[in-house]
Structure 1
Amino acid sequence: MIKTATRSGILLFMLLGFLGYSQNKKNFANIPNILQQIVPNDRIDSWILVYNNYGKNQEIKTSGGKKEYTPQSSGFNLFPSEDSFYYIVYFTGGKADYVTDLEGLKKFTGKIDNAEEAAIVLTADGYMVDEEFKDVAGNYYEDSAHYYMDMGKLTSKECPYQKTHYTLTVNKSSGAVSNIKDNGTYIELYNKKCANNPRLLKIQKKEEPKNDPKKQPAKRK
């Protein structure tokens, strides 16, 4: 009886340990690494991932034979940036086609094959892997049926500048998002131009002149 109870306890402990391990969150790598995990579902001969930074092109990944193509002047970003972008050139039957926006990237990615592709597809809906804050907006865990993604979203470009983080449940088979949990704002930045800047309002309040009865002009009779 004691042996049976001991064995049951060990099995329960192992099961709980396994479940706990399966839900350990994994941080995503950097954006180039995420994009390199794409497994296109359409039949293509080859494709090249290009990173453009300040007008200079750098080939990040080449899959299949390399061919000549026309450098692009615009592209997509998985994380907001004004000075750089990515684009993909792919070849089918000797013809070159280009992916230069997030909707095109979503179509090129096709069916979700891994967590990185799930993150890429979600960027078309405004979500992002925040490389600076991966613990709150750049990680995931998974079970046999779903990915559970912690990602960020730029929720205000005005005053204050805000980022909010969400947990999204993504079905591995269909790619459908079944649940979106709002975890609140994790960045809120004010600047001097913000009329609602708490610090500025506090300074203005201090500088407001106080009414001094001695300095009031005498009333005329």
Structure 2
Amino acid sequence: MIKIAFRLTTFICMFWAILGYSQEKKKFSSIPNILQRISPDDKVDSWTLVYNSYGKGEEIKISGGKMSYIPQFSGFNLFPSEDSFYYIAYSLGGKINYVLDVEALKKFVGKIDTPQEAAILLASDGYIVDEEFKDLAGNYHEDQSNYYLDLGKVTSRECPYQKTHYTLTVNKATGLVSNVKDNGTYIELYNKKCANNPRLLKIEKKEEPKKDEPKKTTKRR
């Protein structure tokens, strides 16, 4: 009887542990930290992650030793920005190579081993870790089979500019996306130039004179 009770208690504890493991959401850290967690599949001799902001490059990770490379003037970003970008210089077989876009970054990462690498994989399809809205579009949880990532995506650059957040299921074994859930728009921005700006339409409607209202005339003295 004691053995049965012990086994039952152990089973319940394991069940709740697995359930908690699968449901616990963790926020992604900063974009630089996500990129520093890369573990390339190819046995590169060494690689350096460089962040370039306003034309100034900063080495934020050096793996495998210092190497000589040519500074680059274009690169990739996991969060769209006009003033900054990242690139990777790496040595493979004595030859210096560069990762300058998200497709090349995807190949450099290779097999998905972490949720951070899953986020990098999805960046090639336009999904972003939105550092300003991590509760909606910058977190993840996982179970034994899958990573579940809550990420954002710019779904309109026209009026209104908008972002939508999604939950994406990435299989750990294959690295393939098995499900995409649309959670709706979380940012919708209008500006004065937007013809469909509801605030502008409201102002115009308020200023428009009523049809039955007589026009005011100025009396001459």
**Structure 1 pair 206/140, CA: closer, same or farther in 2 (3 Å)?**
same
Deviation at 1:103, TM superposition (A): 0.4
Shift of 1:23: 1.5
Q: Deviations over 1:52-98 (max 9, x none)?
A: 00000000000012111100000000001010000000001221000
Task: Indicate conservation of the 8 Å contact 2:139/2:149, yes or no.
Answer: yes
- The answer to whether the aligner puts 1:193 opposite 2:186 as a matched pair is no
CA distance in 2, matches of 1:7, 1:93: 55
Distance of 1:101 and 1:15 partners within structure 2: 43
Aligned length: 216
Alpha-carbon contact 2:90-2:97 (below 8 Å) kept: yes
Match of 1:98 in 2: 98
Could you tell me whether the CA contact under 8 Å between 2:88 and 2:100 is conserved in 1? Answer: yes
2:146 and 2:214 mapped to 1: Cα distance?
73
**1:60 and 2:37 equivalent?**
no
Name stretches of at least 5 consecutive residues in structure 1 with no aligned partner. Answer: 216-221
The one-letter amino acid of 1:52's match is N
Match in the other structure for 2:32: 32
Matches within 5 A, 1:1-221: 8=8, 11-12=11-12, 15-212=15-212
Tell me the distance in 1 between the aligned counterparts of 2:101 and 2:74. Answer: 8
The residue identity in structure 2 corresponding to 1:104 is: A
Partners of 1:62 and 1:68 in 2: CA distance = 12
2: CA distance, partners of 1:54 / 1:95 = 28
C-alpha deviations, 1:19-70, integer Å up to 9, x for none? Answer: 1243100000000000001000012100000000000000000001211110
Q: Which moved more, 1:19-28 or 1:174-183?
A: 19-28
Amino acid at match of 1:194: C
Counting aligned pairs with the same residue, the percent is 71
Query: How far 1:210 sits from its partner (Å)?
Result: 1.8
SS, match of residue 168 in structure 1: strand
CA deviation vs aligned residue, 1:95-143 (integer Å, no higher than 9, x gap)? 1000000100000000001110000000000001000001110111001
- TM-score with structure 2 setting the length: 0.91
Partner of 1:113, secondary structure, is coil
- How far 1:190 sits from its partner (Å)? 0.8
C-alpha distance in 2 between matches for 1:133 and 1:82: 20
CA distance in 2, matches of 1:213, 1:68: 78
Q: Which runs of at least 4 in structure 1 moved beyond 2 Å after TM superposition? A: 3-18, 211-215
**Given the two structures, how large is their TM-score scaled by the length of structure 1?**
0.91
Deviations 1:1-34 (A, max 9, x none): 8x97898478536623541243100000000000
Question: Are the equivalent residues in 1 in contact too, given 2:21–2:142 (CA < 8 A)?
Answer: no
Instruction: Supply the RMSD in Å over aligned alpha carbons.
Output: 2.1
| Aligned residue type for 1:177 | V
| CA–CA distance in structure 1, aligned partners of residues 207 and 177 of structure 2 | 51
